[in-house]
Amino acid sequence: MNHARKNQPLVLPDDLAEAQLLMERLSADCTRVRGQIDAAKAERQATGRYADPNWFHRVSTALRWMNRDRQRLQDHIAALRRRAGAGHDQALIKRLRVLVGEEAFEACRQLAAHDEVGGHG
């Protein structure tokens, strides 16, 4: 589990690419731990007991925390994508305002506001 230090919360990167790389590593860690848990369960089914019940409890708890971190990271990535999209939209609006002129842009803005309020859009 190299996504976070032991007993430390997962640090959510502000960069989308870094957050996506962290998600890949965290997902791989979850898959690896899930495989270990499944192997321990198979051994328990074959022998009737866990080889190390304390280990099984610790790793099951760790997997729950990793899954929570993964959900937090997924939500964070979605927020980063929304922010990136909003920045792109603002740049597009700024460029359109320059290209079509202030009067045409204002007329379009008013039409859009009217459509939004009147339910025509």
Q: Long-range contacts made by residues 59-63, C-beta under 8 angstroms, separation at least 24?
A: 59/33, 62/1, 62/33, 63/30, 63/33, 63/34, 63/37
What is the model's pLDDT at position 120?
Answer: 54
Give the model confidence (pLDDT) of 37-62 as tens digits: 999 999 999 998 888 999 999 999 99
The answer, as to whether pTM is greater than 0.85, is no
pLDDT band, very low/low/confident/very high, at 1 (cuts 50, 70, 90): very low
Give the model confidence (pLDDT) of 68-106 as tens digits: 999 999 999 999 999 988 877 888 888 888 999 989 888
What residue spans define the domains of the chain?
A: 16-118
What is the Cα–Cα distance from 62 to 70, expressed in whole angstroms? Answer: 12
What is the Cα–Cα distance from 64 to 71, expressed in whole angstroms? Answer: 11
